[in-house]
A and B are shown apart, each in its own frame.
Chain A
């Protein structure tokens, strides 16, 4: 097999279209429909289990399209729950810090106190309230389910699907893969970009040879794959994923060799895949490519997970308005045992961060230019099939054909 790499396509492509109207999506009215039909009806990942490592730990998770702040908390019974970040007394924001670990959360307004399982456990000057039942004034819960390291919520009154149904075949294909991976970097940026355009920046690899020519000039490509076709690309009912192929002849710089010399190889170095040296769950490097680089998984609507041999990155794209997106990024890597491992983390973090900053640059430019109205439709190649899928899923949920 010395031929040029051809992509192995898996999944139903019949409803996909290479022409997608993008201009409509920049209109406020369209965005309102996306909120009603997509964001109020989807399972949304809002936090990681590593945000709430022990009982009574909590993290605040903002959901901008729904003007909502949530508290994701691990209760005294170790169960992870999500609640609206609202004090039941007068509606003040209960938790104002970003995270914490303590058995009780006290409102700064009038001192009402809630447990991490949502119960109201402290009601100040109680005798002055007539006919009050503290049992009915616990924090307002949101439907919460956990998949691997991710905490998902659903704002439907009664979710039409379980999280397992929502994730489809991906649900069982990553067992344990994301656990025991400390977070080694996190960033948050508000970008002047439409959220669809923002997430599009990460769900294709066609751009890499051009946008990333200075930051990772030769990590993909090479003689057998000069056009950098994806090795594998799969679509499910709502979600999608692909595997990027590494360039086995990539040049390793002196500092990369020092940084990875006493740790594991991380992006943009890709250890060769063999089942013995690199045991992976079935969902990762699906085609079992020897020159596997990394996977990209899009969990519709807001999360991209980049997956490498010993690392992963979460990229969240939360719409704030039709032309602003709250981008949140977290890099995770294998647990450090020595200083050599920390050096490997540091090198990886710096290299991936610069690539990420280039991608964020494109989404703001594209949104700004499209606002001129000069063109309504974008055209998408087979290497951009995950974008076609994103828009097909979005349009099915919004209930209209946005392409004309």
Chain B
């Protein structure tokens, strides 16, 4: 028995879903700082060539009624957009040395839930 996780056009990204299709900012940031730069780069490299097509595919759909596979693709793309900066800014770690520790940040409703 197989369940389709992503829209057919983006089936190639399915191996990333379990780890990276995260539904809210708090979970995405926790995942980011728990990931090494080499592992983050693997996710970045897998997504960078597909992100624009995924964005355009999703942008054409009604925002209030995304099918489940499209919603999963949306969460995957949102995670990508929120975790790309350490790669693109050439950081050597996925968290900043002098940044306030994540463990002491409380995420409110807007950061702890999905907008759709």
Contacts and interface: CB of A to CB of B under 8 A. Distances in A.
B61 A185 contact: no
B81 interface: yes
Interface in A330-360: 330-331, 336-340, 342-343, 345-347, 349-351, 353-354, 357-358, 360
Given A187-B106, A188-B106, A215-B89, A350 B98 contact: no
Contacts, number: 125
A358 B99 contact: yes
A340 B59 contact: yes
Interface in B63-116: 63, 66, 74, 77-78, 80-85, 88-89, 91, 96, 98-100, 102, 104-111, 115-116
A54 B86 CA distance: 40
B48 A255 contact: yes
B74 A342 contact: yes
Contact of A350 (B51, B66, B85): B85
Q: Which 7 A-B pairs have the closest CB atoms?
A: A186-B108, A255-B84, A339-B58, A357-B99, A360-B100, A253-B88, A340-B59
B9 interface: no
Contacts of B51: 255, 258
B11 interface: no
A258 B58 CA distance: 13
B19 interface: no
A360 B77 CA distance: 28
A187 B100 CA distance: 12
10 contacts: A188-B108, A215-B85, A217-B89, A253-B88, A339-B59, A343-B55, A343-B81, A350-B83, A354-B99, A361-B98
B105 A187 contact: yes
Contact of A337 (B56, B63, B111): B63
Given A214-B91, A215-B89, A255-B84, A339 B61 contact: yes
B27 interface: no
Contacts of A259: 81
Interface in A156-193: 182-191
B14 to A, nearest CB: 19
A186 to B, nearest CB: 3
Given A186-B111, A214-B96, 14 more contacts: A182-B110, A182-B115, A186-B107, A186-B110, A215-B96, A253-B88, A255-B81, A336-B63, A339-B58, A339-B59, A345-B115, A346-B82, A357-B96, A357-B102
